[in-house]
Amino acid sequence: MELRAARDSDVNNWEEVILIYSSALKQISTKIEILNEEFQHVHRYNPIEHIKARIKTSESIVKKLRKHGYESTIQNMVQYVNDIAGIRVICSFTSDIYQIAEMIRNQRDIKVISIKDYIVNPKTSGYKSYHMLVTVPVYLSDRIVDTKVEIQIRTVAMDFWASLEHKINYKFEGNAPAYIKNELIECAKMVSELDRRMLSLNEEIQMINQQNE
């Protein structure tokens, strides 16, 4: 599978695409790491457990374009595929998710394109996560390219569940048996309850610490 340029004026090759999107990922990753370090300095607490960054493979991009009826061109890729560059931010508690999202939103050179809150409104599969589609300027020698990056923010428990669901869907090519889908939904409910209880426990600990200060 190959991506081809639709016109000479397009981004001409995959190497240039990788350069631009990789640069956008580096910028977003660095910003998030700095925010986490600042939060640690001010509040003595790290809201972020770890960060995962990735560039979508050319095979996955072509598959997604074909699924939605688009030709496999670099122009279509840049225009219609929003998750070429993706960052996953894993945190401890659900309350951290919205704090992190707000900190990202307040960065002046980051423009938020769209928000999908699958925590308030989970998918029918049980999937929960907070998605932000943003653009960040990538400064090249001859131009500035506003580049899309998808940011997914979720708890450790949500990430564990999503990873398992992804593996199951990959194995069954999206057509898992009904009983497995139902079991995944039940597991998602357990994950939500675990997140709720862990958040409540953390709040209790913070209250005790404040009383002892």
- The residues annotated as belonging to the active site are 150
The structure tokens listed for 182 are: 């139902």
The structure tokens listed for 47 are: 């809201």
Q: Where are the beta strands (DSSP E) in the chain?
A: 48-55, 85-91, 111-117, 130-139, 144-155
Those residues with Cβ within 8 angstroms of residue 58's Cβ, 6 or more apart along the chain or in another chain: 1, 2, 3, 14
Whose tokens are 């009383």? That residue is 211
Those residues with Cβ within 8 angstroms of residue 192's Cβ, 6 or more apart along the chain or in another chain: 128
